[in-house]
A and B are shown apart, each in its own frame.
Chain A
Amino acid sequence: MTATLETPAAVSDLDAAVTLSGVRKVFGHGPAGVVALDGVDLKVAPGEFVCLLGASGCGKSTLLNLVAGLDAPTSGTIELTTSRPAVMFQEAALMPWLTAARNVELPLRLAGLKRGERREKAGELLSLVRLVGAGHKRPHELSGGMRQRVALARALASTMGSAEEGTPGLLLMDEPFAALDAITRDVLQAELVRVWRETSTAIVFVTHDVREAVRLGQRVVLLSSRPGRVVREWSTVDCDEPAVIEDITSHLREVISGHAAA
């Protein structure tokens, strides 16, 4: 994994941040094995915002884990030209014994940065997610939305820690706003877009919310369920938003109702 990260020149496709070709993932062995992903081809350009959309069991989270290197594909290849991908989960999963600032510093510490440098970078990231005054607070003293923003800053720090100057970043997000209330989610979506514009990292965002996908992504990729395959893609740049939402929703329904008979 790391070897691929450190030698971007060896990767054939330099215009892509992530290239998945023929990725297949089977859990278990033999006839009892469950095929989570089957022949997924996907390319994400540097700085692109891609939303993966699908119903339950489409292997969205599996796909993200594979790209993050937390799991290995059964067959197929995943190539990254970015620094170590940052991951954000549905829960903030902050370390409860560390303050917000220390949580952001943790990946930098793991990457071996000196204390002064860590402080400085963590400070910058906290101000990027508008949490300047909250660095000394513990996770239990923060609201759900604030925790998710700390998690975002920490995820960004983890790509920065491993990155050499100029390497594009990659942020993988697994339904990060699903557990938040509607108002907070709305604000955080806007914040995410702002952060994305400021940092120019590529983002792969997994969700089951069509509106969220269309609002955030430049491109929406619909996955089928059991096994997960790419069904169709939509570009949402300069599109007629309600029409696209309707189109995607009807396709999603089609995919889901296909499972009723089986």
Chain B
Amino acid sequence: MPQLDTDLAAVGAGLDALDAPSQEQRPSLRKRFIRTAVPPLIAFALLLGVWQGLWAAAFWPEYQLPSPASVWAAVAEAIETGRAFEVLWTSVSRAVLGFLTAVVIATPLGLLIAKVRVVRAAIGSLLTGLQSLPSVAWVPAGILWFGATPATIYFVVLMGSVPSIANGLVSGVDQIPPLLPRVGQALGAGRLAAARHILLPAALPGYLAGLKQGWAFSWRSLMAAEIIATSPQLGEGLGQYLHNGASLNDISMVIAAIFLILLVGVGIELLVFRPLERAVLRARGLTGAL
């Protein structure tokens, strides 16, 4: 019955063509740029306008509300003298190193909490609690333990970011549909192979959310530590730059420092985490949020 067989193939192919979800066309690069880059630029311009207006109305004295131009002058000066790059490099390299260390610690920790019941019962809620503890609270303890050294700064960064990353991984693992691990078992995956080939990739969206939050926490904790713990041993990071501005009563410098801190935060989010998240979610067909 070869005739019947080809009929079946044709029917199957027809069904495939009819039932397969239609592909959405990606909008052109220009359209995407207009859609994603223009609204925030307009918002920023509006903010600048309001700021300029308030300054011009002179509600507050100059030492409280500087003009946008004078803040820009402070930033420009820091860039021209090369100080901005030194300061940025000091802080960003610390944050990245701290963050990567946190990833190395938090990933096995998160897996343990997610998969071993005793460990979860023992330290699961502690970890969630730690997440709500502002990491600035660790600065005094860190100074007493390690002195005003980079060790203190890294300690504070780790205390800030490890819980977020581990918790992200735990919730990622918790949200895996239970059928997937069972399929893995049926396909012949042992415990380790299942973790590598099924658990981790299935938990990736949650893990990535944890990483994103972990980065935010590590950057935040770093700034807190740098603002509070200042010593010649530590060199000058963004936090110290801000601290110096406050000591000099130079509001332009303070605002410039805040601007730079924000710039790094937004920059890393846009350059690293947004594209990563987009790629991971798109591959799984979860394009709703994009």
Contact = CB atoms under 8 A, between A and B. Distances in A.
A73 interface: no
B180 A95 contact: yes
Interface stretch (A15-23, A26-34, A84-92, A201-209): A84-92
Interface string B178-200: 01101101111100010001100
Interface residues of B, number: 33
Say whether chain B's binding surface is mostly helix, strand, loop, or mixed.
Answer: helix
Interface string A79-103: 0000010110101010111100000
B7 to A, nearest CB: 10
Give the interface centre of B19, B185, B187 by most chain A CB atoms within 10 Å: B187
A63 B202 CA distance: 28
B15 to A, nearest CB: 6
Interface residues of A, number: 38
A140 B284 contact: yes
A154 B283 contact: no
Give the interface centre of A93, A110, A158 by most chain B CB atoms within 10 Å: A110
Contact of B8 (A70, A84, A191): A191
Given A93-B179, A141-B285, A158-B187, A109 B19 contact: no
B188 A107 contact: yes
Interface in A147-204: 154, 158, 161-162, 183-184, 187, 190-191, 194
Interface of A: 68, 70, 84, 86-87, 89, 91, 93, 95-98, 106-107, 109-111, 130, 134, 138-146, 154, 158, 161-162, 183-184, 187, 190-191, 194
11 contacts: A84-B188, A86-B186, A95-B201, A97-B284, A107-B187, A130-B13, A141-B21, A142-B20, A145-B19, A184-B19, A187-B15
Interface of B: 5, 8-9, 11-13, 15-16, 18-21, 23, 177, 179-180, 182-183, 185-189, 193, 197-198, 201-202, 204, 280, 283-285
